[in-house]
Structure 1
Amino acid sequence: MKIKKALVIAALALCVQSASAQYNMPTQTFTYDKPYAVEKIATPKGKKVKNVILMIGDGMSLMHVYTAWTANRGKLWLENATATGLSKTWAANKLVTDSGSGGTSLATGVKTNYHAVGVDTEGKPVPSLVDVAKELGKDAGIAVTCRLWDATPCDFCCHNVDRDKEEELVGDYPTSGVDFVFGGGAEKFTNRKDGRNVFSELMQKGYHVSRSLDDFFAYDKNSRVFAVPYDKDTPLPDERGDLLARASMKGIELMNRNKKGFFMMIEGSQLDDYGHFNQLDMLMKETLDFDQTVGKVMKWAAEDGETLVVVTADHETGGLTLVNGNKNEGRVECCFSTRDHSGAMVPVYAFGPGAEHFTGIYENTDVFKRIKQLLTYGVIK
């Protein structure tokens, strides 16, 4: 009897050990306590594209999206997308990319080397969607929650073989041609090693430079706005509220006055940071903040009728895996497999005229090519 009891205890111990080891790494649990409502957005009936808004969730994979969907009780604004595809993110010289190379491919249609920004594999500057829009007489803008010397905003406005050349990258903004900019990173615009005052240079180029949120949101003259209210990143989502959505809508309002249209890149930047840090709670808050910004943008685009919204990522970060949870409670249990990027394909969502061209499996460079066609001709030729 004692032997039988000992065998049962041993078996139970093995079961417990197996259950705790089945994910091969520690898990984290998060419950979202502020679920938000999501509405069905009517699809625009128009067929021609005048404006394109490209939204990038830095490091956002399908698993990030599905985990956020679970946390928000089984609903996301992203689900209003009428077309979905998958993008391959490899760099020219490395299978697993970074925001420099991955973002450059989205911005310019060129595969480039790991850590490169706005240049090809030989280090030569290549035009981005900002340049495409300006050549067409349209406005161009960006809104991000990171430092403006970070890779993704620089992919659209700057050129360097090394994303770590931060002062050099910031020094490219006055000649970038971009109209509207919102982000952090003011500390590298002044007190620089090269003695330049980039804010002064921007003002000489005709930009209104906003160093505070009050000044930024009060400004209403034209779209030539360079708003940098923070020395580094914008605050955490619990502190900043819907700032990304409000800043993005301000840019859309100003640039939409251009009768020829506009291009805008909006980034949920700090998803990537919390993927690197393996912090599930902050990662989910950033992802859900990004989704709410997607909702505001899609609702505006639906009313406008001539705006294509494309939502994607430059790569995956953290190797996030959803292993358990309850969508009725908004509870998710996840583990991470890395503190770096992974090689997973990333989703592409599209809403509005031209959305049908973003289905399938394709290279990240094709996102640029299709947007360029639609900005140029209004349709794919």
Structure 2
Amino acid sequence: MLHNLKKIAKRRLYLVLIFPCLIWSNNYKEQPKDAQNDSLKKPKNIILLIGDGMGLSQVSSIYFDPNYTPNFNRFHTIGLITVSSASELITDSAAAATSFASGEKTYNGAIGVNIDQEPLVTIVDLASDKQMKTGIISTSSITHATPACFYAHVEKRRMQDEIATFLPVSDIDFFAGGGTDFFNNRKDERNLTEEFVQNGFTIDTTLVEDYSKLKDSTKYGFLMAPNGMKSMIDGRGDFLPTSSALAIEYLSKSKDGFFLMIEGSQIDWGGHGNDGEYIKSEMLDFDQTIGKVLDFAKQDGNTLVIVTADHETGGYTLTSNGSNYNEILPSFSTTGHSATLIPVFAYGPGEEIFSGIYENTEIFHKMKLLLE
């Protein structure tokens, strides 16, 4: 009996000591320290770069060329995110991109909708409400899962014809990627190119190289392929860094700032194909794009750059060639996605709130905080 009373007393003492801590912990979650920090410097512009399928091994793959210095070295604030969706432990691009774009977990395959298939407010909506200009760039079709989540709201990612109908009437001011077939070669014979023009867009199939030709009062769309774009190995060239520089030149003319999402889509495709050379070539292209973006951010001084990924693809690792530890070979455990934590790199005003380990939905909430 005495022994049991002592145990109860100890338990009560534990609860007395721990209960205030639990209250503090819950209050901390409801009112993050970041939100209470009036001294937090906020950026005028936010550029979010998403390396689709990019885990730490994918990033590591470009570190073994003695003649190349990765632009990832320029980041000093680094974090990690967990990326499970609301329906699965292993996410797909649609659920993950919806988390980035809208700050809410949803089911695999969902484009800009919650688990009840209701439309979600996006970071593009919030930026546009503040009169900021907005843009999206992708090396896949512009109607593919990741870019689509920033402007469309449909039940399933494969509904690309329906996704396409959202873009002409969206708040997007600049886009570049593949996907002409979803706009002017449709099963319903609807010509969305005409609808783009009606809504103030100039649509082109080649990138403008003279930045001075871009007018502030016009929206711009560049559709560069029938569906997804070529891989780097197959000759895509400098589309991603060039279109990113073009977008920044155009969007930065806004006195109210801008939000830009840039996706290196085909890192993921290399992972699905268990192709190490494909991954490395796409990673180098993505890294060079990061370099262009960081150059602008450094010169501008008022731009936040965030680099992350929706998930890792391929269970990719860098292994030795047998007992030869001086030769690295790509190794894969799956042709699908994996559940590994994903890195986050940040540079610029507000970068400090992106360190630590947190859910992928916090990317949205942290960006939202910085826009308030």
TM-score range, shorter chain: 0.7 to 0.9
Contact 1:318 1:341 in 2 (8 A): yes
Question: For residue 335 of structure 1, what is the aligned residue in structure 2?
Answer: 331
Point out the more displaced range, 91-100 or 166-175.
166-175
Q: Where in structure 2 are the equivalents of 1:93-172 lying within 5 Å?
A: 93-172=87-166
AA matched with 2:257: G
| Greater RCO structure (CA 8 Å; 6+ sep) | 1
Aligned equivalents of 1:234, 1:200: Cα separation in 2: 23
* Distance 1:214-1:136 versus aligned 2 partners, 3 A rule: closer
Q: 68, 71, 75: which is aligned to 2:62?
A: 68
Aligned equivalents of 2:208, 2:252: Cα separation in 1: 21
1:76-115: CA deviation from partner (whole Å, max 9, x where unpaired): 1012112000011001011000000011101110100011
Per the alignment, in what secondary structure is the counterpart of residue 291 of structure 2?
A: helix
Per the alignment, in what secondary structure is the counterpart of residue 273 of structure 1?
A: helix
Question: For residue 219 of structure 2, what is the aligned residue in structure 1?
Answer: 224
**Identity %, equivalent residues:** 41
Following TM superposition, the consecutive aligned residue runs of length 4 or more in structure 1 with deviations greater than 6 angstroms are 215-218
Does 2:297 align with 1:301? yes
Does 2:202 align with 1:205? no
Aligned equivalents of 1:277, 1:359: Cα separation in 2: 32
Cα shift at 1:324: 2.5
* Distance 1:287-1:203 versus aligned 2 partners, 3 A rule: same
Cα shift at 1:372: 1.1
Q: 66, 85, 90: which is aligned to 2:84?
A: 90
* Distance 1:231-1:362 versus aligned 2 partners, 3 A rule: same
Per the alignment, in what secondary structure is the counterpart of residue 203 of structure 1?
A: helix
Cα shift at 1:230: 1.4
Cα shift at 1:360: 0.4
Aligned equivalents of 1:215, 1:82: Cα separation in 2: 33
AA matched with 1:125: P
Q: 261, 264, 288: which is aligned to 1:265?
A: 261
Per the alignment, in what secondary structure is the counterpart of residue 295 of structure 2?
A: helix
Instruction: Compute the RMSD of aligned alpha carbons.
Output: 1.9
Does 2:244 align with 1:248? yes
Aligned equivalents of 2:261, 2:201: Cα separation in 1: 19
Question: For residue 47 of structure 2, what is the aligned residue in structure 1?
Answer: 53
* Distance 1:90-1:100 versus aligned 2 partners, 3 A rule: same
* Distance 1:72-1:135 versus aligned 2 partners, 3 A rule: farther
Q: Structure 2: where are the runs of 5+ without partners? A: 1-39
1:288-316: CA deviation from partner (whole Å, max 9, x where unpaired): 11011001100110000000000000011
1:308-341: CA deviation from partner (whole Å, max 9, x where unpaired): 000000011000011137xxxx963120000000
Matched residue count: 328
Q: Where in structure 2 are the equivalents of 1:5-16 lying within 5 Å?
A: none
Aligned equivalents of 2:238, 2:107: Cα separation in 1: 35
* Distance 1:331-1:237 versus aligned 2 partners, 3 A rule: farther
Per the alignment, in what secondary structure is the counterpart of residue 171 of structure 1?
A: helix
Question: For residue 344 of structure 2, what is the aligned residue in structure 1?
Answer: 348
Per the alignment, in what secondary structure is the counterpart of residue 149 of structure 2?
A: helix
1:47-81: CA deviation from partner (whole Å, max 9, x where unpaired): 43100000000000011111222246573101211
Give the TM-score taking structure 2 as reference length: 0.84
Cα shift at 1:375: 2.0
AA matched with 1:81: F
AA matched with 1:118: G
Question: For residue 372 of structure 1, what is the aligned residue in structure 2?
Answer: 368
Per the alignment, in what secondary structure is the counterpart of residue 155 of structure 2?
A: coil
Question: For residue 8 of structure 1, what is the aligned residue in structure 2?
Answer: none
AA matched with 1:304: D
Contact 1:70 1:331 in 2 (8 A): no
Per the alignment, in what secondary structure is the counterpart of residue 302 of structure 1?
A: helix
AA matched with 1:339: T
Aligned equivalents of 1:112, 1:261: Cα separation in 2: 29
Contact 2:62 2:284 in 1 (8 A): yes
Q: 231, 235, 244: which is aligned to 1:236?
A: 231
Give the TM-score taking structure 1 as reference length: 0.83
